[in-house]
Amino acid sequence: MSNTRSFCDQPGHEHALVPQIVEVRDNLGTLAVQVLAAREDLSKMDYSEMLDKLYQIVDDLHTEYDRRKPTSITD
């Protein structure tokens, strides 16, 4: 079994490392929020604009992730 997040979360597998590709994929949303916060003053944005920009950043990150990801977890 690969070191998927669910495998690593099982008792007795605490020593296992989550592959970088899984770690990156699982944190793209958090990264997107940080990118938006660095670019904009969130306190002055309305929610609609915030979500539109956040959606675009997530889309850009997904595109880059798909371009760079290996063909399998073991690559």
Residue 3 falls inside a structural domain = no
Residue 75 falls inside a structural domain = no
For residue 48, what are the domain limits? 21-68
Residue 7 falls inside a structural domain = no
30-51 confidence digits (pLDDT tens): 999 999 999 999 999 999 999 9
Separation of CA 46 from chain center: 24
- Residues 58 and 20: their CA atoms lie apart, in Å, by 18
Residue 50 falls inside a structural domain = yes
Tens place of pLDDT for every residue, the chain, 75 residues?
Answer: 456 777 777 788 777 777 788 888 889 999 999 999 999 999 999 999 999 999 999 999 999 999 987 765 554
Residue 74 falls inside a structural domain = no
Counted domains in the chain: 1
Residue 32 falls inside a structural domain = yes
Residue 39 falls inside a structural domain = yes
